[in-house]
Structure 1
Amino acid sequence: MDLTTATWTDVRDLEADLAVVPVGSTEQHGPHAPLGTDVLTAEAVADAGVERVDREVVRAPAIPVGVAEEHRQFPGTMWVSEDTFRDYVAEAVSSLAHHGFDRIVLVNGHGGNVDALREVGGRLTRAGEAYVVPFTWFEVVGEHTADMGHGGPLETALLRHIEPELIAEERIEEARAGAADGWGDWTSYVNLAYDAAEFTENGVVGDPSEGSKERGEELLELATETLARLLEAVAERDVSRPEHR
Protein backbone atom coordinates (compact mmCIF):
# COMPACT_ATOMS: atom_id res chain seq x y z
CA MET A 1 0.00 0.00 0.00
CA ASP A 2 1.30 3.44 -0.97
CA LEU A 3 0.70 5.96 1.80
CA THR A 4 0.62 8.82 -0.69
CA THR A 5 -2.57 7.55 -2.33
CA ALA A 6 -4.12 5.65 0.60
CA THR A 7 -6.67 7.07 3.03
CA TRP A 8 -6.22 6.90 6.77
CA THR A 9 -9.03 4.38 6.97
CA ASP A 10 -7.23 2.19 4.42
CA VAL A 11 -4.20 2.24 6.69
CA ARG A 12 -6.26 1.62 9.82
CA ASP A 13 -7.59 -1.60 8.35
CA LEU A 14 -4.17 -3.03 7.49
CA GLU A 15 -2.68 -5.87 9.49
CA ALA A 16 0.85 -5.22 8.26
CA ASP A 17 3.83 -4.21 10.38
CA LEU A 18 6.41 -3.89 7.57
CA ALA A 19 7.18 -0.62 5.77
CA VAL A 20 9.59 0.55 3.11
CA VAL A 21 10.93 4.12 2.97
CA PRO A 22 12.80 5.22 -0.18
CA VAL A 23 15.61 7.65 0.60
CA GLY A 24 17.50 9.63 -2.01
CA SER A 25 19.03 12.99 -2.74
CA THR A 26 18.46 16.01 -4.95
CA GLU A 27 21.87 16.66 -6.47
CA GLN A 28 23.75 17.00 -9.71
CA HIS A 29 24.23 13.92 -11.84
CA GLY A 30 26.14 15.48 -14.69
CA PRO A 31 24.74 17.29 -17.75
CA HIS A 32 22.70 14.28 -18.90
CA ALA A 33 20.85 12.92 -15.84
CA PRO A 34 18.28 14.61 -13.57
CA LEU A 35 18.89 16.04 -10.12
CA GLY A 36 16.36 13.56 -8.76
CA THR A 37 18.24 10.47 -9.97
CA ASP A 38 18.82 9.09 -6.47
CA VAL A 39 15.16 9.49 -5.52
CA LEU A 40 13.86 7.99 -8.75
CA THR A 41 16.10 4.94 -8.57
CA ALA A 42 15.38 4.35 -4.88
CA GLU A 43 11.62 4.55 -5.54
CA ALA A 44 11.84 2.19 -8.50
CA VAL A 45 13.73 -0.44 -6.52
CA ALA A 46 11.46 -0.03 -3.49
CA ASP A 47 8.29 -0.41 -5.57
CA ALA A 48 9.62 -3.44 -7.43
CA GLY A 49 10.71 -5.08 -4.18
CA VAL A 50 7.34 -4.52 -2.54
CA GLU A 51 5.56 -6.02 -5.55
CA ARG A 52 7.82 -9.08 -5.47
CA VAL A 53 6.92 -10.22 -1.94
CA ASP A 54 3.72 -12.05 -1.12
CA ARG A 55 2.75 -10.01 1.91
CA GLU A 56 1.30 -6.58 2.74
CA VAL A 57 3.97 -3.88 2.85
CA VAL A 58 3.46 -0.16 3.36
CA ARG A 59 5.39 2.07 0.98
CA ALA A 60 6.06 5.47 2.55
CA PRO A 61 6.77 8.67 0.60
CA ALA A 62 10.39 9.14 -0.41
CA ILE A 63 12.79 11.36 1.51
CA PRO A 64 14.21 13.50 -1.33
CA VAL A 65 17.03 15.55 0.24
CA GLY A 66 20.04 13.93 1.85
CA VAL A 67 23.69 14.38 2.79
CA ALA A 68 25.04 15.90 -0.43
CA GLU A 69 27.09 19.00 0.32
CA GLU A 70 29.95 17.44 -1.67
CA HIS A 71 28.03 18.51 -4.79
CA ARG A 72 27.38 22.11 -3.64
CA GLN A 73 29.28 23.74 -6.53
CA PHE A 74 26.73 22.40 -9.03
CA PRO A 75 23.49 24.44 -9.28
CA GLY A 76 20.28 22.77 -8.17
CA THR A 77 21.92 20.53 -5.62
CA MET A 78 20.22 20.52 -2.21
CA TRP A 79 21.54 19.17 1.06
CA VAL A 80 21.11 19.10 4.80
CA SER A 81 23.63 18.42 7.54
CA GLU A 82 24.19 14.85 8.69
CA ASP A 83 22.62 15.69 12.06
CA THR A 84 19.48 17.13 10.43
CA PHE A 85 19.23 14.21 8.02
CA ARG A 86 19.60 11.59 10.75
CA ASP A 87 17.04 13.30 12.97
CA TYR A 88 14.56 13.77 10.13
CA VAL A 89 14.78 10.16 8.98
CA ALA A 90 14.57 8.93 12.57
CA GLU A 91 11.47 11.01 13.33
CA ALA A 92 9.78 10.03 10.06
CA VAL A 93 10.41 6.37 10.84
CA SER A 94 9.19 6.82 14.41
CA SER A 95 5.90 8.17 13.09
CA LEU A 96 5.45 4.97 11.09
CA ALA A 97 6.25 2.91 14.17
CA HIS A 98 3.62 4.86 16.10
CA HIS A 99 1.01 3.36 13.77
CA GLY A 100 2.35 -0.16 14.19
CA PHE A 101 4.77 -0.32 11.25
CA ASP A 102 7.76 -1.17 13.38
CA ARG A 103 9.77 -3.23 10.89
CA ILE A 104 11.21 -0.82 8.37
CA VAL A 105 13.61 -1.05 5.45
CA LEU A 106 15.19 2.18 4.21
CA VAL A 107 15.79 1.78 0.46
CA ASN A 108 18.63 4.16 -0.31
CA GLY A 109 19.85 5.55 -3.62
CA HIS A 110 22.64 7.92 -2.50
CA GLY A 111 26.12 7.02 -1.31
CA GLY A 112 26.38 10.06 0.96
CA ASN A 113 23.47 8.76 3.05
CA VAL A 114 24.92 5.32 3.80
CA ASP A 115 26.71 5.98 7.10
CA ALA A 116 23.92 8.17 8.48
CA LEU A 117 21.24 5.60 7.68
CA ARG A 118 23.17 2.84 9.40
CA GLU A 119 23.44 5.03 12.50
CA VAL A 120 19.71 5.77 12.44
CA GLY A 121 18.89 2.11 12.08
CA GLY A 122 21.03 1.16 15.03
CA ARG A 123 19.73 3.98 17.19
CA LEU A 124 16.04 3.20 16.68
CA THR A 125 16.52 -0.55 16.91
CA ARG A 126 18.48 -0.37 20.16
CA ALA A 127 15.95 2.05 21.62
CA GLY A 128 13.18 -0.42 20.86
CA GLU A 129 11.18 2.04 18.72
CA ALA A 130 11.38 -0.06 15.57
CA TYR A 131 13.57 -2.57 13.80
CA VAL A 132 15.19 -0.51 11.04
CA VAL A 133 17.51 -1.80 8.31
CA PRO A 134 19.15 0.30 5.55
CA PHE A 135 19.47 -1.11 2.03
CA THR A 136 21.45 0.62 -0.73
CA TRP A 137 20.53 -0.72 -4.17
CA PHE A 138 23.84 -0.22 -5.96
CA GLU A 139 25.71 -2.19 -3.30
CA VAL A 140 23.77 -5.39 -4.09
CA VAL A 141 24.08 -5.72 -7.88
CA GLY A 142 26.99 -8.15 -8.01
CA GLU A 143 29.89 -7.36 -10.30
CA HIS A 144 28.13 -4.21 -11.49
CA THR A 145 28.75 -2.53 -8.13
CA ALA A 146 32.38 -1.84 -9.03
CA ASP A 147 31.18 0.48 -11.83
CA MET A 148 28.94 2.65 -9.66
CA GLY A 149 30.61 6.03 -10.13
CA HIS A 150 28.28 9.04 -10.15
CA GLY A 151 25.94 9.76 -13.02
CA GLY A 152 27.94 6.98 -14.61
CA PRO A 153 27.02 3.63 -16.16
CA LEU A 154 24.82 2.22 -13.39
CA GLU A 155 22.60 5.20 -12.69
CA THR A 156 22.37 6.03 -16.39
CA ALA A 157 21.45 2.43 -17.18
CA LEU A 158 18.74 2.20 -14.54
CA LEU A 159 17.23 5.52 -15.61
CA ARG A 160 17.28 4.45 -19.24
CA HIS A 161 15.20 1.49 -18.16
CA ILE A 162 12.74 3.15 -15.76
CA GLU A 163 12.56 6.80 -16.97
CA PRO A 164 14.25 6.95 -20.39
CA GLU A 165 12.75 10.33 -21.26
CA LEU A 166 14.71 11.94 -18.42
CA ILE A 167 18.12 11.13 -19.90
CA ALA A 168 19.44 13.89 -22.18
CA GLU A 169 20.87 11.52 -24.79
CA GLU A 170 22.36 14.39 -26.80
CA ARG A 171 24.61 15.20 -23.82
CA ILE A 172 26.00 11.71 -23.22
CA GLU A 173 29.23 12.44 -25.08
CA GLU A 174 29.65 15.69 -23.12
CA ALA A 175 29.08 13.78 -19.89
CA ARG A 176 31.60 11.11 -20.85
CA ALA A 177 34.24 13.65 -21.94
CA GLY A 178 34.13 15.59 -18.69
CA ALA A 179 33.92 12.61 -16.34
CA ALA A 180 36.47 11.44 -13.81
CA ASP A 181 37.62 7.83 -13.84
CA GLY A 182 37.05 7.35 -10.10
CA TRP A 183 35.65 9.03 -7.02
CA GLY A 184 38.10 11.32 -5.24
CA ASP A 185 41.74 12.38 -5.36
CA TRP A 186 43.73 9.70 -3.58
CA THR A 187 47.24 9.80 -2.07
CA SER A 188 48.59 7.33 0.52
CA TYR A 189 45.14 5.66 0.73
CA VAL A 190 43.60 9.03 1.69
CA ASN A 191 41.00 10.91 -0.34
CA LEU A 192 42.32 14.48 -0.41
CA ALA A 193 39.13 15.86 -1.97
CA TYR A 194 36.01 16.81 -0.03
CA ASP A 195 33.92 18.09 -2.96
CA ALA A 196 33.17 16.46 -6.29
CA ALA A 197 34.17 19.59 -8.20
CA GLU A 198 37.77 18.99 -7.10
CA PHE A 199 38.16 15.93 -9.33
CA THR A 200 35.35 15.92 -11.94
CA GLU A 201 34.79 18.65 -14.50
CA ASN A 202 31.05 18.13 -14.92
CA GLY A 203 30.09 16.06 -11.88
CA VAL A 204 30.24 12.69 -13.60
CA VAL A 205 32.32 9.74 -12.45
CA GLY A 206 32.47 6.80 -14.84
CA ASP A 207 31.35 6.43 -18.43
CA PRO A 208 27.57 6.88 -18.84
CA SER A 209 27.73 5.55 -22.40
CA GLU A 210 28.24 2.10 -20.85
CA GLY A 211 24.85 2.30 -19.16
CA SER A 212 22.48 0.64 -21.60
CA LYS A 213 18.77 0.12 -21.06
CA GLU A 214 19.38 -3.63 -21.05
CA ARG A 215 21.93 -3.24 -18.28
CA GLY A 216 19.41 -1.16 -16.36
CA GLU A 217 16.85 -3.93 -16.64
CA GLU A 218 19.38 -6.37 -15.21
CA LEU A 219 20.27 -3.97 -12.40
CA LEU A 220 16.63 -3.57 -11.40
CA GLU A 221 16.11 -7.31 -11.37
CA LEU A 222 19.20 -7.92 -9.21
CA ALA A 223 18.26 -5.17 -6.74
CA THR A 224 14.62 -6.25 -6.64
CA GLU A 225 15.38 -9.88 -5.93
CA THR A 226 17.82 -8.95 -3.17
CA LEU A 227 15.41 -6.47 -1.61
CA ALA A 228 12.58 -9.01 -1.70
CA ARG A 229 14.72 -11.50 0.22
CA LEU A 230 15.58 -8.79 2.73
CA LEU A 231 11.93 -7.84 3.22
CA GLU A 232 11.03 -11.46 3.93
CA ALA A 233 13.93 -11.75 6.39
CA VAL A 234 12.96 -8.56 8.21
CA ALA A 235 9.32 -9.67 8.37
CA GLU A 236 10.24 -13.04 9.90
CA ARG A 237 13.13 -12.00 12.13
CA ASP A 238 13.03 -12.23 15.93
CA VAL A 239 13.72 -8.57 16.69
CA SER A 240 13.90 -8.88 20.47
CA ARG A 241 17.19 -7.52 21.77
CA PRO A 242 19.78 -9.83 23.35
CA GLU A 243 20.01 -9.82 27.14
CA HIS A 244 23.11 -8.68 29.01
CA ARG A 245 25.92 -11.24 29.03
Structure 2
Amino acid sequence: MAAPLTGWTELASATWPEVPESPLVLVPTGSTEQHGPHLPFHTDSVVARAVATGVAETLPGQVVVAPTIAFGASGEHADFPGTISIGHDALHALLVETVRSLDLWAGRVVFVNGHGGNVVTVRRVVAEMRAEGHDVDWAPCVLPGGDAHAGLTETSLMLHLRPGDVRIDLAEPGESAPLEEILPLMTRSGVRAVSPNGILGDPTGASAAQGREFLATMVDGVVRRLATTAPPPVTTIP
Protein backbone atom coordinates (compact mmCIF):
# COMPACT_ATOMS: atom_id res chain seq x y z
CA MET A 1 0.00 0.00 0.00
CA ALA A 2 1.33 3.44 -0.94
CA ALA A 3 2.15 5.87 1.84
CA PRO A 4 0.09 9.06 2.15
CA LEU A 5 1.56 11.99 0.30
CA THR A 6 3.27 14.71 2.31
CA GLY A 7 2.22 18.34 2.10
CA TRP A 8 -0.92 19.04 0.12
CA THR A 9 -2.72 16.52 -2.04
CA GLU A 10 -4.74 17.06 -5.20
CA LEU A 11 -7.61 14.66 -4.65
CA ALA A 12 -8.56 14.18 -8.29
CA SER A 13 -5.14 12.81 -9.25
CA ALA A 14 -4.47 10.84 -6.05
CA THR A 15 -5.37 7.26 -5.20
CA TRP A 16 -7.19 6.27 -2.01
CA PRO A 17 -4.10 4.99 -0.15
CA GLU A 18 -2.51 8.42 -0.72
CA VAL A 19 -5.26 10.27 1.13
CA PRO A 20 -3.91 11.44 4.50
CA GLU A 21 -5.73 10.76 7.74
CA SER A 22 -8.28 13.40 8.78
CA PRO A 23 -6.95 16.17 6.50
CA LEU A 24 -8.22 19.67 6.01
CA VAL A 25 -10.15 19.51 2.73
CA LEU A 26 -10.48 22.67 0.65
CA VAL A 27 -13.39 22.61 -1.80
CA PRO A 28 -13.20 25.33 -4.49
CA THR A 29 -16.67 26.57 -5.47
CA GLY A 30 -17.03 28.56 -8.65
CA SER A 31 -19.44 29.03 -11.51
CA THR A 32 -19.94 28.62 -15.23
CA GLU A 33 -21.14 32.06 -16.27
CA GLN A 34 -20.42 34.87 -18.68
CA HIS A 35 -17.53 37.18 -17.90
CA GLY A 36 -17.87 39.76 -20.63
CA PRO A 37 -16.65 39.36 -24.21
CA HIS A 38 -13.02 38.81 -23.14
CA LEU A 39 -13.01 36.30 -20.24
CA PRO A 40 -14.03 32.62 -20.28
CA PHE A 41 -16.99 31.04 -18.50
CA HIS A 42 -14.80 29.22 -15.99
CA THR A 43 -13.15 32.38 -14.60
CA ASP A 44 -14.63 32.05 -11.10
CA SER A 45 -13.74 28.37 -10.96
CA VAL A 46 -10.16 28.97 -12.09
CA VAL A 47 -9.69 31.69 -9.48
CA ALA A 48 -11.25 29.64 -6.68
CA ARG A 49 -8.99 26.68 -7.47
CA ALA A 50 -5.88 28.86 -7.67
CA VAL A 51 -6.67 30.40 -4.29
CA ALA A 52 -7.37 26.98 -2.74
CA THR A 53 -4.10 25.62 -4.12
CA GLY A 54 -2.19 28.63 -2.84
CA VAL A 55 -3.71 28.16 0.61
CA ALA A 56 -2.85 24.44 0.56
CA GLU A 57 0.77 25.26 -0.29
CA THR A 58 0.92 27.74 2.61
CA LEU A 59 -0.77 25.90 5.47
CA PRO A 60 1.08 23.39 7.63
CA GLY A 61 -0.19 19.86 8.06
CA GLN A 62 -2.07 17.64 5.67
CA VAL A 63 -4.30 19.50 3.21
CA VAL A 64 -6.36 18.07 0.37
CA VAL A 65 -7.73 20.17 -2.50
CA ALA A 66 -10.95 18.62 -3.79
CA PRO A 67 -12.17 18.89 -7.39
CA THR A 68 -13.76 22.24 -8.15
CA ILE A 69 -17.53 22.56 -7.98
CA ALA A 70 -17.92 24.40 -11.27
CA PHE A 71 -21.68 25.02 -11.34
CA GLY A 72 -23.20 27.58 -9.00
CA ALA A 73 -26.10 29.96 -8.54
CA SER A 74 -25.68 32.30 -11.52
CA GLY A 75 -29.24 33.27 -12.34
CA GLU A 76 -28.27 36.93 -12.60
CA HIS A 77 -26.26 36.03 -15.72
CA ALA A 78 -28.95 33.88 -17.36
CA ASP A 79 -29.61 36.41 -20.14
CA PHE A 80 -26.16 35.74 -21.57
CA PRO A 81 -25.86 32.57 -23.69
CA GLY A 82 -23.51 29.95 -22.34
CA THR A 83 -24.23 30.55 -18.67
CA ILE A 84 -25.13 27.42 -16.69
CA SER A 85 -26.82 28.01 -13.32
CA ILE A 86 -28.09 25.23 -11.06
CA GLY A 87 -29.79 27.67 -8.69
CA HIS A 88 -29.69 27.94 -4.91
CA ASP A 89 -31.76 24.84 -4.10
CA ALA A 90 -29.61 22.48 -6.16
CA LEU A 91 -26.41 24.12 -4.97
CA HIS A 92 -27.59 23.76 -1.38
CA ALA A 93 -28.22 20.04 -1.81
CA LEU A 94 -24.88 19.55 -3.57
CA LEU A 95 -22.88 21.30 -0.85
CA VAL A 96 -24.74 19.59 2.00
CA GLU A 97 -24.09 16.13 0.58
CA THR A 98 -20.48 17.08 -0.17
CA VAL A 99 -19.92 17.90 3.51
CA ARG A 100 -21.67 14.74 4.71
CA SER A 101 -19.59 12.60 2.39
CA LEU A 102 -16.30 14.30 3.22
CA ASP A 103 -17.00 13.98 6.92
CA LEU A 104 -16.49 10.20 6.62
CA TRP A 105 -12.74 10.77 6.22
CA ALA A 106 -11.90 14.49 6.42
CA GLY A 107 -10.97 16.36 9.57
CA ARG A 108 -12.25 19.76 8.46
CA VAL A 109 -13.99 21.02 5.33
CA VAL A 110 -13.63 24.55 3.97
CA PHE A 111 -15.40 25.90 0.90
CA VAL A 112 -13.17 28.37 -0.96
CA ASN A 113 -15.76 30.37 -2.84
CA GLY A 114 -14.99 32.28 -6.03
CA HIS A 115 -18.50 33.39 -7.05
CA GLY A 116 -20.51 36.03 -5.17
CA GLY A 117 -23.82 34.53 -6.24
CA ASN A 118 -23.02 31.40 -4.19
CA VAL A 119 -22.49 33.24 -0.90
CA VAL A 120 -26.03 33.10 0.48
CA THR A 121 -26.18 29.35 -0.05
CA VAL A 122 -22.65 28.66 1.16
CA ARG A 123 -23.36 30.53 4.39
CA ARG A 124 -26.60 28.64 4.89
CA VAL A 125 -24.95 25.29 4.29
CA VAL A 126 -22.13 26.06 6.74
CA ALA A 127 -24.64 27.02 9.44
CA GLU A 128 -26.73 23.89 8.87
CA MET A 129 -23.77 21.55 8.73
CA ARG A 130 -22.32 22.99 11.93
CA ALA A 131 -25.67 22.36 13.56
CA GLU A 132 -25.30 18.71 12.46
CA GLY A 133 -21.91 18.59 14.17
CA HIS A 134 -19.61 18.87 11.15
CA ASP A 135 -16.36 20.86 11.26
CA VAL A 136 -16.99 23.10 8.27
CA ASP A 137 -16.18 26.67 7.28
CA TRP A 138 -15.99 28.85 4.20
CA ALA A 139 -13.81 31.66 2.89
CA PRO A 140 -14.37 34.07 0.01
CA CYS A 141 -11.89 34.83 -2.75
CA VAL A 142 -11.99 38.60 -2.37
CA LEU A 143 -9.66 41.48 -3.14
CA PRO A 144 -10.24 44.58 -0.99
CA GLY A 145 -11.11 47.43 -3.33
CA GLY A 146 -11.45 45.16 -6.35
CA ASP A 147 -14.16 45.63 -8.95
CA ALA A 148 -17.19 43.37 -9.13
CA HIS A 149 -17.18 41.28 -12.29
CA ALA A 150 -14.92 40.80 -15.32
CA GLY A 151 -13.12 44.08 -14.68
CA LEU A 152 -9.52 44.86 -13.77
CA THR A 153 -9.39 42.36 -10.91
CA GLU A 154 -10.57 39.21 -12.68
CA THR A 155 -8.92 40.11 -15.97
CA SER A 156 -5.55 40.54 -14.25
CA LEU A 157 -6.03 37.27 -12.36
CA MET A 158 -6.80 35.39 -15.56
CA LEU A 159 -3.89 37.00 -17.41
CA HIS A 160 -1.71 35.52 -14.67
CA LEU A 161 -3.44 32.14 -14.36
CA ARG A 162 -4.77 31.36 -17.86
CA PRO A 163 -3.43 33.97 -20.30
CA GLY A 164 -4.37 31.81 -23.29
CA ASP A 165 -8.02 32.00 -22.29
CA VAL A 166 -8.15 35.82 -22.25
CA ARG A 167 -9.32 37.69 -25.37
CA ILE A 168 -7.64 40.89 -24.26
CA ASP A 169 -8.30 42.61 -27.58
CA LEU A 170 -12.03 42.40 -26.78
CA ALA A 171 -11.72 43.90 -23.29
CA GLU A 172 -13.77 47.06 -22.84
CA PRO A 173 -15.21 49.08 -19.96
CA GLY A 174 -18.52 48.02 -18.49
CA GLU A 175 -20.76 49.47 -15.81
CA SER A 176 -18.55 51.07 -13.17
CA ALA A 177 -21.15 52.45 -10.77
CA PRO A 178 -20.79 51.27 -7.16
CA LEU A 179 -22.35 47.84 -6.69
CA GLU A 180 -24.75 49.08 -4.02
CA GLU A 181 -26.24 51.53 -6.54
CA ILE A 182 -26.97 48.96 -9.23
CA LEU A 183 -27.71 45.96 -7.01
CA PRO A 184 -31.49 46.50 -6.73
CA LEU A 185 -31.98 46.59 -10.52
CA MET A 186 -29.49 43.77 -11.04
CA THR A 187 -31.29 41.63 -8.46
CA ARG A 188 -34.65 42.21 -10.18
CA SER A 189 -33.59 42.04 -13.81
CA GLY A 190 -30.10 40.52 -14.00
CA VAL A 191 -26.67 41.78 -14.97
CA ARG A 192 -27.63 42.56 -18.58
CA ALA A 193 -30.09 45.20 -17.38
CA VAL A 194 -27.23 47.23 -15.91
CA SER A 195 -24.38 46.20 -18.21
CA PRO A 196 -25.12 45.08 -21.80
CA ASN A 197 -21.61 43.68 -22.23
CA GLY A 198 -21.72 41.80 -18.92
CA ILE A 199 -18.84 43.68 -17.28
CA LEU A 200 -19.10 45.38 -13.89
CA GLY A 201 -15.89 47.39 -13.82
CA ASP A 202 -13.17 48.31 -16.29
CA PRO A 203 -10.57 45.75 -17.44
CA THR A 204 -8.49 48.44 -19.13
CA GLY A 205 -4.93 48.28 -17.87
CA ALA A 206 -5.16 44.74 -16.51
CA SER A 207 -1.89 42.82 -16.38
CA ALA A 208 -0.49 39.47 -15.33
CA ALA A 209 1.81 41.21 -12.84
CA GLN A 210 -1.18 42.72 -11.07
CA GLY A 211 -2.90 39.35 -11.20
CA ARG A 212 0.02 37.71 -9.42
CA GLU A 213 -0.21 40.29 -6.64
CA PHE A 214 -4.00 40.01 -6.44
CA LEU A 215 -3.79 36.23 -6.08
CA ALA A 216 -1.23 36.49 -3.29
CA THR A 217 -3.51 38.92 -1.45
CA MET A 218 -6.50 36.59 -1.82
CA VAL A 219 -4.52 33.59 -0.60
CA ASP A 220 -3.25 35.54 2.39
CA GLY A 221 -6.80 36.62 3.23
CA VAL A 222 -8.05 33.03 3.28
CA VAL A 223 -5.06 31.83 5.32
CA ARG A 224 -5.62 34.55 7.91
CA ARG A 225 -9.33 33.81 8.05
CA LEU A 226 -8.74 30.12 8.69
CA ALA A 227 -6.15 30.91 11.36
CA THR A 228 -8.60 32.88 13.50
CA THR A 229 -10.07 31.07 16.47
CA ALA A 230 -13.46 32.72 16.24
CA PRO A 231 -15.85 31.18 13.66
CA PRO A 232 -17.29 33.41 10.93
CA PRO A 233 -20.69 34.98 11.63
CA VAL A 234 -22.83 32.30 10.00
CA THR A 235 -25.03 31.21 12.89
CA THR A 236 -28.08 32.96 11.46
CA ILE A 237 -29.51 31.19 8.44
CA PRO A 238 -30.76 33.78 5.90
Q: TM-score range by the shorter chain?
A: 0.7 to 0.9
Give the equivalent residue in structure 1 for 2:73.
67
1:84 matches 2:90: yes
Q: CA deviation at 1:182?
A: 3.0
Instruction: Tell me the matched-pair count.
Output: 221
Give the equivalent residue in structure 1 for 2:10.
2
Q: State the one-letter code of the partner of 1:68.
A: S
1:230 matches 2:225: yes
Tell me the SS of whatever aligns to 1:65. Answer: coil
Give the equivalent residue in structure 1 for 2:116.
111
- 8 Å Cα contact 2:159-2:211 kept in structure 1: yes
Give the whole-Å Cα distance in 1 for the aligned partners of 2:167 and 2:158. 11
Provide Cα deviations, 1:89-117, integer angstroms capped at 9, x if missing partner: 11012111112x14111101101001110
1:191 matches 2:184: yes
TM-score, length of structure 1 as denominator length: 0.84
Give the equivalent residue in structure 2 for 1:221.
216
Q: CA deviation at 1:166?
A: 1.0
Question: Aligned to 2:127, which of 122, 143, 159?
Answer: 122
Give the equivalent residue in structure 1 for 2:148.
149
1:160 matches 2:166: no
Give the whole-Å Cα distance in 2 for the aligned partners of 1:108 and 1:64. 11
Give the equivalent residue in structure 1 for 2:38.
32
Question: Aligned to 2:135, which of 131, 135, 153?
Answer: 131
Provide Cα deviations, 1:145-186, integer angstroms capped at 9, x if missing partner: 3332210111111111111111101112xx32xx11136694
Aligned sequence identity (%): 34
Give the whole-Å Cα distance in 1 for the aligned partners of 2:219 and 2:180. 33
Q: CA deviation at 1:227?
A: 2.0
- 8 Å Cα contact 1:21-1:105 kept in structure 2: yes
Q: State the one-letter code of the partner of 1:229.
A: R
Q: State the one-letter code of the partner of 1:168.
A: R
Give the whole-Å Cα distance in 1 for the aligned partners of 2:180 and 2:141. 25
Residue 80 to residue 157, structure 1, CA distance change in 2 (3 Å): same
- 8 Å Cα contact 1:185-1:199 kept in structure 2: no
Give the equivalent residue in structure 2 for 1:242.
none
Give the whole-Å Cα distance in 1 for the aligned partners of 2:122 and 2:73. 10
- 8 Å Cα contact 1:184-1:196 kept in structure 2: no
Q: CA deviation at 1:17?
A: 3.0
Give the whole-Å Cα distance in 2 for the aligned partners of 1:4 and 1:58. 10
- 8 Å Cα contact 2:126-2:137 kept in structure 1: yes
Question: Aligned to 2:175, which of 166, 180, 201?
Answer: 180
TM-score, length of structure 2 as denominator length: 0.86
Give the whole-Å Cα distance in 1 for the aligned partners of 2:158 and 2:79. 24
- 8 Å Cα contact 2:126-2:136 kept in structure 1: yes
Q: State the one-letter code of the partner of 1:67.
A: A
Residue 151 to residue 159, structure 1, CA distance change in 2 (3 Å): same
Structure 1: which 5+ runs fail to align? 239-245
Q: State the one-letter code of the partner of 2:129.
A: L
